[in-house]
A and B are shown apart, each in its own frame.
Chain A
Amino acid sequence: MSEHAVAGTAERTGSPHKRAWHLAERPLVWLAPLTLLLLITYVYPAIDVIRYSFTDATLLNPEYAYTTDSYRALIRSPDLPGILWVTFVFVVASVVLQLVLGLLVAMVLNRGVKRRLPGVSVVRIIILSAWIVPGVAAGIVWQLMFNEASYGFLNAILRGVGVSPVAWLSDPDLALWSAVIANVWRGTAFSMLLLYAGLVVIPSSLYEAASVDGATALKQFWYITLPQLRPILLINTVLISIFTLNTFDLILPLTGGGPGRATEVLALYTYNTVFRNFDLSNGAVLAVILLLISIVFTLIYVRLLPREL
């Protein structure tokens, strides 16, 4: 049977070949269900949040009016600068430490695999298990670790080696760093995973050539590993910045945002505004700010993705 004959049959019977040809010509048809799904589950809620941010709505009163008062109130809020500063420190410190530690662990694992060392898979599973643990559970675990009672885990170790106990959570200056440690513990595995994937695809010939030229390990890392990992590092930075910015499930059980407001990040402040203060419109304004920051990160991510990979 000739090709024309097949095409003719397909036209008459409406066979899969013909449908596939038509769908390829009309992407809107096959994109429509996905677009609809995204509109309903992502775009509509986002628009609704933006709409609420221009109202005076509270959870206590079903009636509301449209106004920009919530934006003005937020700008005047004496709490906002402190909240933004805590968020900034939390995000930057978490991202830097997750990147550095993630890279370190990925390189050790990569070296272990190349040398066929036993137990590498076990190490990988152990590290990944921290990532799998839900944020709330991680917060509870670290609350026990940082407990400042005589039976608190970390302080018991410090006492055992003759070091004075540390006020991990009760010292407002230290509490934020304790939260960073807990977040880094949870997030490093994700960084490690991405960076390890980047490391294994670097051609070994590059390192062999560098060795022949007499390059030291440090120079190889600086001139081969880092440039080769650049796209992964950038994407990793953007992704973990977004994750960290939206983190509050870990802080809620760990410190609840205290002492005072010492560990109250923007996401937790938003949560408290809506669910403790019942202030839907101010909460929506805060959510819009979070959304805008996340969109900036996402745009960076989108811009990096096609060019670098």
Chain B
Amino acid sequence: MKKKFLSAFLAGTILTGLAAGAAAQQLVTTDRVGSPDAPNVLTMRANPTQSPNSPSAEQKATFEKVWQSFAEAHPDWQVQFEFFGQDIGSEHARLLEQARAGRAPDCVTVDSFQLALFIKNGVLQPLDDFFSQEEIDDLFPFIRDGITGSDGHIYAWWWGTDLRVLYRNTEIVADTPETWEELQNAALEAAESGVEGVLFNGGRWEGTTFDWLANFWAQGGSLVDEDGKPIFGEGENREKMLRAMDYFKGLVDSGAAPRRVATIKDYNDFNAAAIAGSAAMFFGGHWQHFQLQEAMPEEAFAKWDVSELPGPTAGERATGTGGWTVAAFTDDPAKVEMCANLMREVYMGPANEVIGDLPTRESLFAELPKFQDPYFDKLKDYLVNGRARPGVPIYPEISNQIQITMGEVLSGTKEPEAALDGAWNRVMEAYTKM
């Protein structure tokens, strides 16, 4: 008995030792890339989906190979990760506080629409030395503008973007709606057959503003002027805002969209409705194509098609484009360089292929194997009408007020004029304080 115990104990000890040794050698863990013995440490805060800690098992496995190559190419460095929570807005507000106190991580994945806050506060390092002019010129214009500060330097690398599209069940809506009117008619016809005509984000969250703004932008509307001052509540822009609001209000009031859109604040709601076969159309993100493909039987998925968001006329189109950047917060030159290496070797291209976020450089869009597909060809065409949210500090409050306005209008609490005036006054109060 004693001998058996001793043998088991020894075997256990040896196995534990081997396992510990193997872990020590592992170059990619959920919160570290590189050897734990590497002398140089780069701290990085990332959105989990863009890290070795991806919640998607498939993406995690593919991404691990990318991180492994990065670790092998830089044996003297280890990247230590921390992760953003779900509330990206407040996470960025906290990050800004940390950055101003000099306590931010060295390298961070920053949401593209929050980037302006950090550039304006002077907490990012310029990256011009690490990217060629050819590479910068290759960026889509709205991407280039988004990462460039008022001094002309680039302060982040915007590596992946996304866009909003119209999904429709072709069995219910055969023809592509090109205009607002066509969409409403098609949705009404679908609703008469017992399904929900069209769904869109209308709850209190950023997606509501972002998705709806395409209708404002399609008319040539601007939220802010060149100096970042809000102008959406005055003159022609006010009229364009009201037209875009009337469009959504009309969809709900006519029954083309259910009143519950005022509660939708998650793209997954659209997936659920599509899978349940209870909706004919929805305004969603381009990435949902893959989610539906994975979740639906092949024959059901084949009924769904994607097209450009309808405009007030067929010739007036726009779509919201978002995405993520990587920025360097450290003032240590060696760390800034390593952060730039990470942008180039992990994110510019490889991450696009793993995650499916659209490349921001035209040449990459043409070269990367994943994007040589008819679906992506369509998206590339739609990107021509892509509009990014203005990179100005007042934008989060504009968005907040538009969310409130949409809730009031869609639920019938206020008429669009009164709701818009309320939003405008509050935004201007906030702007004055900034």
Residues of A bordering B, CB below 8 Å: 56, 58-62, 73, 78-79, 146-151, 167, 169-172, 252, 255-262, 271-272, 274-279
Contact = CB atoms under 8 A, between A and B. Distances in A.
A39 B396 CA distance: 35
Interface centre among A150, A262, A278 (most CB of B within 10 A): A278
Contacts of B263: 146-148, 169-170, 255, 258-259
B19 interface: no
B400 A272 contact: yes
Contacts of B403: 256, 258
B414 interface: yes
A259 B408 contact: yes
Contacts of A59: 93, 96-97
Interface in B249-286: 258-263, 265, 269, 272-273, 276, 278
Given A59-B96, A259-B413, A275-B90, A170 B205 contact: no
A62 B100 contact: yes
Contacts of B100: 62
A278 B403 CA distance: 17
A249 to B, nearest CB: 10
A60 B120 contact: yes
A172 B203 contact: no
A279 B413 contact: no
A170 B259 contact: yes
B414 A260 contact: yes
B203 A149 contact: no
Main secondary structure of the interface of A (DSSP, over half): loop
A258 B203 contact: yes
Main secondary structure of the interface of B (DSSP, over half): helix
Nearest to B252: A170
B296 interface: no
22 contacts: A61-B434, A79-B426, A147-B269, A148-B263, A149-B196, A149-B269, A149-B278, A150-B278, A151-B272, A171-B259, A256-B204, A256-B205, A258-B263, A258-B404, A259-B202, A260-B404, A260-B413, A276-B397, A276-B399, A276-B400, A278-B434, A279-B430
A259 B203 contact: yes
B65 to A, nearest CB: 33
B393 interface: yes
A148 B97 CA distance: 39
Contact of B260 (A60, A73, A148, A257): A148
B434 A260 contact: no
The 7 A-B residue pairs with the shortest CB-CB distance in the complex, in nearest-first order: A256-B204, A259-B407, A258-B204, A148-B260, A275-B90, A260-B408, A260-B407
B433 interface: yes
